[in-house]
């Protein structure tokens, strides 16, 4: 059933995925309604800004608002009734037992069901456990709603969301209705055709050449492709961190090891960077969601349980290594630089930098922290006795130890020789393995990497 009477696009949920998708599609020829129930978020978007930091997104929002091709709203009825494609991009937080909380997913589908016209396509972009689409299709049938369901998982990374979406590796669309799958693939083909002009509006460089692939699959395969991709990347990181622990004991350097191991094209170098482990709103939740999906179907994904255990051990492992060098943490002044879960984003969810700061403070260290973008988002998760500073210099002043917990370029490019003179001590902890060990040693630091 192909869409015969194409109207507009509705996107439900202005989170990282929904707002990025809306910003892109509304700049390549579609009229896009963006449904968001959080009034504050809606107000921010209406001023032409994203409520999170993301390279290139603000100019896209601003341009589409001016052209009236982006309509932020909290009204399902007007948006859905005037659209033939509805993308659901709502959050899927994890339940305390690790399974995915699908309450927003179901309520978005139920609310859509009230207004969606027969022959439209409902697209699931939220990351959901395999089998979710089947139950939503059932729900539509029970309510007598005649729509096609397409699973279209998202692979963009925070911090590079716009360029990832324009120069994608792959687009996956899966569903039982092949015409509807094709309709969705065509939306992305239109984005691909317009990628240079969209990049120009976003102010991004257009030097990429990637030729993305399109995969039409069945609905359940598409759901599984998404979580499998994230789980495999998480596995690579935990594997690298396990080898880093062995490298620490054997005087090998995990960076040298992974550079050579990753040169084997069958393995690849990406996501083999050892350090403080992965965080964020995706990997921890998607791995635990996959484990619980497996258990639900009688499959014990032990390999992923081990990956999680390794990941969770990394912040304390690093603090123990620091403790071995300084002997006593109590009363030591430690600066932790980097609170976002990675560079390029203000997102501090499940952030390893926050965990490191909290463990250090719990062990008696006097901790000060700094992040160029994420201090606000991290503040609620930090222990009360940690001081949040407005600059790198303030955070490291008189510190005995500096810990780099996020690979922000400004940390890496800074003149550390100059900053060292402001510190009381000389221990430099590179928890992201992003520095030249020899350089820092030359500048008089005692360098500690992870597995180096």
Q: Under the rule (CB under 6 A), what is the footprint of ligand UGA?
A: 127, 154-158, 230, 233, 237, 271-273, 275, 277-280, 282-283, 286, 341-342
Q: What minimum distance in Å lies between the beta carbon of 324 and ligand UGA?
A: 22
Closer to ligand UGA by Cβ: residue 115 or 341: 341
Please give the helix or strand (H or E) that residue 402 lies within, else none: strand 401-404
- List, as one string, the DSSP characters of 162-220: HHHHHT-SEEEEE-S-HHHHHHHHHHHHHHHHTHHHHHHHHT---------EEEEE-HH
In terms of CB distance, is 31 or 276 closer to ligand UGA?
A: 276
- N-term to C-term CA, the chain: 57
> Minimum distance from CB of 271 to ligand UGA (Å)?
4
Residue 184: C-alpha distances to residues 99, 120, 166, 173, 368 (Å): 29, 11, 16, 7, 48
- Closest distance of CB 342 from ligand UGA, Å: 4
In the DSSP assignment, the letter for residue 156 is P
Per DSSP, helices labelled H in 336-385 are 352-362, 375-379
The DSSP element (H or E) to which 335 belongs, if any, is strand 333-337
Q: Which two tokens stand for residue 180?
A: 């509807």
Closest to ligand UGA by CB, 15 or 148? 15
- Closer to ligand UGA by CB, 3 or 404: give it: 404
Tokens 């892109």 sit at which residue? 24
Query: Least distance in Å: CB of 315 to ligand UGA?
Result: 12
The minimum distance between CB 437 and ligand UGA, in angstroms, equals 18
| Nearer of residues 147 and 247 to ligand UGA, judged by Cβ | 247
- The whole-angstrom separation of Cα 248 and Cα 57 is 41
φ and ψ of 11, to 5 deg: -120, 125
Catalytic residue numbers read: 282
Separation between Cα atoms, residue 26 and residue 60, nearest integer Å: 8
Query: In this complex, which beta carbon is closest to ligand UGA, that of residue 125 or of residue 332?
Result: 125
Q: How far is the CB of 266 from ligand UGA (least distance, A)?
A: 17
């Amino acid at each position: 059933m192909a869409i015969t009477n194409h109207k507009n696009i509705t996107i439900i949920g202005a989170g990282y995925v929904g707002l990025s998708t809306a910003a892109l599609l509304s700049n390549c020829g579609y009229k896009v309604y963006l449904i968001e129930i959080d009034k504050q978020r809606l107000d921010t978007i209406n001023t032409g800004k994203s409520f999170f930091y993301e390279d290139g997104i603000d100019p896209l929002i601003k341009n589409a608002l001016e052209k009236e091709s982006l309509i932020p709203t909290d009204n399902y009825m007007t948006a859905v009734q005037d659209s033939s494609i509805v993308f659901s991009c709502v959050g899927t937080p994890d339940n305390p037992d690790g399974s995915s909380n699908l309450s927003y997913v179901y309520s978005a589908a139920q609310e859509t069901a009230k207004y969606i016209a027969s022959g439209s396509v409902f697209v699931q972009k939220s990351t959901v456990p395999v089998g979710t689409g089947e139950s939503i299709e059932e729900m539509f049938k029970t309510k007598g709603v005649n729509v096609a369901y397409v699973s279209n998982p998202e692979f963009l990374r925070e911090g590079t969301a716009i360029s990832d979406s324009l120069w994608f590796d792959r687009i996956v669309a899966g569903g039982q209705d092949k015409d509807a799958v094709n309709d969705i693939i065509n939306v992305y083909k239109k984005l691909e055709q317009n990628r240079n002009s969209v990049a120009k509006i976003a102010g991004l460089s257009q030097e990429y050449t990637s030729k993305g692939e399109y995969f039409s699959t069945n609905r359940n395969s598409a759901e599984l492709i998404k979580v499998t991709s994230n789980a495999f990347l998480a596995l690579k990181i935990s594997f690298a961190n396990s080898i880093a622990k062995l490298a620490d004991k054997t005087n090998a350097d995990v960076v040298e090891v992974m550079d050579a191991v990753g040169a084997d094209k069958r393995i690849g170098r990406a996501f083999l960077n050892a350090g403080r482990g992965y965080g964020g709103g995706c990997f921890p939740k998607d791995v635990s969601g996959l484990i619980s999906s497996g258990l639900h179907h009688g499959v014990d994904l032990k390999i992923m349980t081990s990956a999680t255990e390794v990941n969770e051990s990394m912040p304390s492992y690093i603090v123990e290594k620091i403790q071995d060098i300084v002997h006593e943490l109590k009363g030591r002044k430690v600066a932790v630089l980097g609170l976002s879960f990675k560079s390029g984003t203000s997102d501090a969810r499940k952030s390893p930098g926050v965990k490191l700061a909290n463990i250090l403070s719990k062990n008696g260290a006097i901790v000060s922290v700094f992040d160029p973008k994420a201090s606000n988002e991290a503040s609620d998760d930090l222990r009360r006795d940690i001081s949040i500073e407005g600059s790198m210099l303030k955070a490291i002043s008189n510190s005995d130890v500096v810990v780099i917990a996020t690979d922000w370029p400004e940390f890496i490019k800074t003149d550390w020789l100059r900053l060292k003179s402001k510190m009381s001590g000389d221990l430099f902890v590179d928890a992201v393995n992003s520095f030249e060990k020899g350089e820092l040693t030359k500048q008089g630091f005692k360098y500690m990497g992870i597995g180096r």
